[in-house]
Structures are given as structure tokens and as C-alpha cells.
Amino acid sequence: MSETSTLILAIETSCDETAAAVIENGRYVRANAVASQIETHKLYGGVVPEIASRQHVEQMTIVMEKAMREAGVTFQDLTAVAVTEGPGLVGALLVGVNAAKAVAYAHSLPLVPVHHLAGHIYANRLVHDVKYPLLSLIVSGGHTELVYMPEEGVYELIGETRDDAVGEAYDKVARTLGLPYPGGPAVDQLAQTGEASLEFPRAWLEEGSYDFSFSGLKSSVLNTLHNATQRNVELAREDVACSFQASVVDVLVTKTAAAAKAYDVEQVLLAGGVAANQTLREAMETKMAAEGRQLLVPPLWLCTDNAAMIGAAADVAYRSGARADLDLNAKPGLALK
Ligand code: KG4
Ligand code: ZN
């Protein structure tokens, strides 16, 4: 490998996917292996942290070896090993962190810690040319964050949810509608057949704030459904799903557009599991195009948790000198800076 090229083994275990990837020069996906635990957690209607940790332990080595085999590389070929250090479920994160430390120690490789959200943002870099300054909206099961990046590797959190993450609201509404976990794709699909005929609240918060709030919307949807059941009134589930989604998308698009204008960015990046939502993608694309901005969205396989995105972010971190020692610990509440 020349001095400027990198070959990074990246590991991600922050929630319910055990993932390993091999990324060349921060852009080329040599291998991307993911073992999803969705089928297991489906039985409980959500992620059970203890079960997630145990499944990561069972899958970690298998997934890592699969990625190395698919990439056709040996540990001696690697420049570094990278891992999500946080945020996420502590027991889940610990499995990936310890696996990465073992590889780093056994093969004398630099260890690069990566923030999970930096990974979601940099997923875009695997498929698009990103230009700074930019704005990124990260929407996932655990996060709803607007991040301004004046330059590569620099993150300014300008807005975040004050209560539920948007994916969390999707998952709870789905559960009440009797839809399976994860709720996002199921609500999204049901909404396609409905009409936005119900008025659900939109939390705009104070003038100029880029923060979000989805708990009022979630409660309103749940109350509407419970009241209808109590009164024996038949509500069209698809209209509830469609009206809920209309409220979510309206707030996300309006706030992101206002921030993009205030920060005067050319590019807006969508990231995270909820970025898989077709209605959100289309509404955001239309709004940004109307305002002369470019929207970048990763393909579906890069929206939900994976290790390729961690490898992409790790390349930036590695080149800027980020290194961890073998005392690296999982950081469940890690802030993005
Ligand atoms: O990024 P991700 O895989 O994990 C976290 O870091 O949280 O995001 C998972 C979240 C879940 O809440 C899931 O319901 C949601 O993303 N999601 C969607 C869609 N696909 C996944 N939400 C809305 N529409 C979708 N199509
Ligand atoms: Zn995620």
C-alpha cells in the first residue's frame, strides 16, 4: 500500500446489526457483511439489549471473517482497524470494541474509534461527491439530528430531538397499528395506500430553533387510535399511517430547509435508517431542488446500520490522526464533535 492509500477493516455493533466491512481509500467497498438480528427482536416488538449483546458475541467473528474473505485480503494487508465506539447500547458496543481491540493487538494495527453518526453521514461519501460546507439530517431509531459540517471531519450539532427520535416514533405508532418491528418500513408501506385526512400536530418549537419534538405527535396518534377503539369507530389504518407520516415529513423538510438557508449550504445529506423512507426522500428532494440545493441520499443498503459507513468515516478520522489505545471503552452517550 502506498502512503496515501488505506485499507480499513471496520466494525459496527451499536444496536441490532453485527457488521464488518473492508473499505479501500474511504470510498471503495471491498466487502460489506451484515448479520441482522431483526427476526429475533421482532418477537419482542423491539430491540432487547441483552439479546442483542449475546447475538453480537455469536456473530462477530463469523461476520468479520466473511468480510475479510469477500474482500480477498489478509490482516497483514490492512492499514487500520476501526470500530464504532458510541453512541448505542453499551453491551452491544462492547462486543465490537473488544473485537477491534483484539485484531489491533494481534496484528499490530492502529485502532481508529468512530462515532456512529459520523458513519451515517459518511455513508454518502461512498456513493457521492460531497462538498463542504454541508448540512446533514440524521434520522434513525435513536437519532434525529441536524449537523452542520463547515469542513471535512468537523461537526456542529445545530438541532436535535428533545424527546423521541423519529424512528422511535415510527416504531411506536407501528406497534399500536399492529404492524411488525421495525415499524418504519411497515408504516411507510401502509401510508402509500392512505390519505393524509387526519390533522396531527406539528411541533415547530420556538422561532429559529432547529430542534425537533415527536412525542406530542406520537401521543396524538396513539390517543386517536385508542379513542376510536373505545368508541367502536372504525379508523382507516392507512389514513392514520399516511397522516402521521405527512406530519413527520413536513417538520423534517421545513426545518432542514430553514437550516440549509441559514447556513447557506449547497448540499444537504440525508442519513440514517429513516432516510430509507420514500416519501421523505421525495419531499426533501423537491424542496431542495426548488431552493437550488443538492440533496444527497445513500442507497437503501447504506441507510440502515452497516460497517461500510463506519469504514468511510474511519478513513477521514485515520487521515486526521485519530487513534485509540487498547483501553478504548464503549461510550453509549457519546456526543458528535
Ligand atoms: O439507522 P438505523 O438502522 O438504526 C439506528 O441507528 O437507529 O435506523 C433504524 C430505524 C428504525 O426505527 C426503523 O423503523 C427506521 O429506521 N426505518 C424507517 C424506514 N426504514 C427503516 N422509517 C421510516 N421509513 C422507512 N422506510
Ligand atoms: Zn444507526
Res 183: pLDDT: 92
pLDDT band with cut points at 50, 70 and 90 for residue 3: low
Residue 337: band (very low, low, confident or very high) from pLDDT cuts 50, 70, 90? confident
Q: Does 209 appear as a known binding residue? A: no
Check pLDDT > 60 for residue 276: yes
Q: Is 178 annotated as a binding residue?
A: no
The residue-averaged pLDDT of 85-90 equals: 97
Average pLDDT over residues 77-89: 98
User: Quick one: which ligand is closest to 182's CA?
Assistant: 1
Please list every protein residue whose CB sits less than 6 Å from any atom of ligand 1: 15, 140-142, 167, 170-171, 182-185, 188, 272-274, 276-277, 304-305
CA of 175 to the centre of ligand 1 (A): 14
| Confidence label for 1 from pLDDT (cuts 50, 70 and 90) | very low
In this prediction, residues 80-101 reach a mean pLDDT of: 98
What digits encode the pLDDT tens for the residues 217-269?
999 999 999 999 999 999 999 999 999 999 999 999 999 999 999 999 999 99
Name which residue sits closest to atom 23 of ligand 1, judged by CA: 184
Task: Give 110's pLDDT tier (boundaries 50, 70, 90).
Answer: very high
126 pLDDT higher than 90 = yes
Where do the domains of the chain lie, and which CATH numbers do they carry?
7-121+303-319 (3.30.420.40), 132-297 (3.30.420.40)
Q: Is 305 flagged in the annotation as binding?
A: yes
User: Once rounded to an integer, what is the mean pLDDT over residues 113-124?
Assistant: 97
Side-by-side strand order, sheet with 134-139: 156-160, 144-149, 134-139, 267-271, 294-296
Give the residue, out of 304, 305, 334, 336, with the most ligand 1 atoms within 8 A of its beta carbon, to mutate for a pocket test. Answer: 304
Is 213 annotated to bind a ligand? Reply is no
C-alpha grid cell, residue 186: 411497515
| Mean per-residue pLDDT, 2-18 | 91
User: 161 CA to middle of ligand 2, Å?
Assistant: 15
Which residue in 148, 89, 139, 58 sits closest to 334, CA to CA? 89
Output the pLDDT for position 328: 98
Task: Report the distance separating Cα 6 and Cα 109, nearest Å.
Answer: 12
> Model-level pTM?
0.94
Residue 142 annotated in ligand binding: yes
Mutation choice for ligand 1 from 12, 116, 140, 218, CB with most ligand atoms inside 8 A: 140
Cell 443538492 found at: 294
Question: What is the number of the ligand closest to the CA of 277?
Answer: 1
Q: Is the pLDDT of residue 92 over 50?
A: yes
Whether the per-residue pLDDT at 279 is higher than 80: the answer is yes
> What pLDDT, on a 0 to 100 scale, did the predictor assign at position 46?
87
Grade residue 60 by pLDDT with cuts at 50, 70 and 90.
Answer: very high
